[in-house]
Amino acid sequence: MAIQSVHCYSHGSHETDEEFDAVWVTYFNKPDIDAWELCKGVNTLVGYDLVPEQLNDVASAVHILEAVKDKAGPHREIYPYFTQELRLTLNELGIFTPEKLSLDNV
């Protein structure tokens, strides 16, 4: 027996993981997506405890770091561990943390 994962919403529709992914891949691959739409999409996915697999700009990466810090909530040890584990990759890609950019003081 195969088990198929579905997303259920209050309005009664059901969506498979593949359909859900296809909607978001299409959303983020729009050639005319602007910064507001990008942030809206990322925030929606963060609300589902998900993040897009790949976004190709520094601002998006920093926004996701901010979202991870926010989602950690009272578990203050999570975010430093997360950034520690990503440090080599962040350095290689030239991505600064929100703290390094003084965004945590805004």
pLDDT tens per residue across all 106 residues of the chain: 333 343 445 455 688 889 998 999 899 889 888 878 887 888 888 888 776 666 677 888 888 888 888 888 889 899 999 999 999 999 998 999 988 888 776 5
Report the candidate in 17, 20, 24 with the shortest Cα–Cα distance to residue 3.
Answer: 17
Tell me the pTM.
0.58
Report the candidate in 51, 56, 59 with the shortest Cα–Cα distance to residue 35.
Answer: 59
3-state secondary structure of 60: helix
Residue 24, Cβ density class (10 Å: 0-12 exposed, 13-18 middle, ≥19 buried): middle
The fold for domain 55-105 equals 1.25.40
- Show the tokens assigned to 72: 């950690």
pLDDT score at 92: 93
- Percentage of residues of the chain with pLDDT beyond 90: 24
CB 39 within 8 A of CB 28: no
